[in-house]
Amino acid sequence: MNLITTKIAKVIEEAPNIKTFIFDFKGKATPGQFIMVWLPGINEKPMSLSYVENFGITVKKVGEFTEKLHELEEGDLIGFRGPYGRGFKIEGEKLLIVVGGIGIAPIAPLVEEATRLSKEATVIMGARNKNELIFVERIKKTGAKIILATEDGSIGVKGTVIDALMLRKESFDQCFACGPEKMLVQVLKYAKARKIPTQLSLERYFKCGIGICGSCALDDKGLLVCRDGPVFYDHELNGEFGKYKRDASGRRIKI
């Protein structure tokens, strides 16, 4: 897909070091898909869509690229390609949705779409503290059941999302999750023990975003996160999942 250049229609400061950028662009995307965001003279990076109609991304400032992105204001131009990848497929009636930190970006539109389809959703959200929990009001507006967890106990369950997850006794038809990979490993373990089909959104180093360069290889069997994911079903995940990622050279590194 060709590069699209558009204006930033709105900038929202969600939390310290986290901003949402709404584009002046109406598109069509599935919750869980991503775009390749381009900043001239800086780089191009994959970003999950946190809004899938008026395209939007939610970005935590963690390095040079995101620092430059955070400097942009309403009316500034931004470039992107996409949307790309496989998003979430809403299956079942009673849904368990687990999210850690900035992983809420692709999860928020999933919850909105699921509740629009009259699905019963339980959303467990976690962060280090209450100031880093974003989209809480957005999720509440959907009517989904929401459970909060913070590592410092400043709001909700004191502990991680996994601590909050282990307290759940209900049965579910489907589980969805996005967050740090060590968290995803624990979510998958929980779901498999209860025979809950699961979809997980993964993050890997991307270059092209369209399955050509191979830098986002998930294993040695040919699975690419940009092309075959970023959302994967439980039965597809083995090999390097939860153990290794790859750096810019393609070398495996421990998670």
pLDDT at 29 over 90: yes
Pair 104, 125: CB distance under 8 Å:
yes
What are the tens digits of pLDDT across the range 170-222? 999 999 999 998 999 999 999 999 999 999 999 876 767 776 776 677 766 67
Residue type, 191: A
What are the tens digits of pLDDT across the range 223-248? 887 788 899 999 998 777 766 666 66
So what's the pLDDT on residue 169?
87
Mean pLDDT of the chain: 91
So what's the pLDDT on residue 67?
95
What are the tens digits of pLDDT across the range 149-177? 999 999 999 999 999 999 988 999 999 99
What are the tens digits of pLDDT across the range 61-117? 998 999 999 999 999 999 999 999 999 999 999 999 999 999 999 999 999 999 999
More confident residue, 1 or 222: 222
So what's the pLDDT on residue 98?
98
So what's the pLDDT on residue 126?
96
So what's the pLDDT on residue 220?
60
So what's the pLDDT on residue 238?
77
Long-range contacts of 204-212 (CB under 8 A, 24+ apart): 204/230, 204/245, 204/246, 205/245, 205/246, 205/247, 205/248, 206/36, 206/45, 206/46, 207/248, 209/34, 209/36, 209/46, 209/81, 209/82, 209/84, 210/84
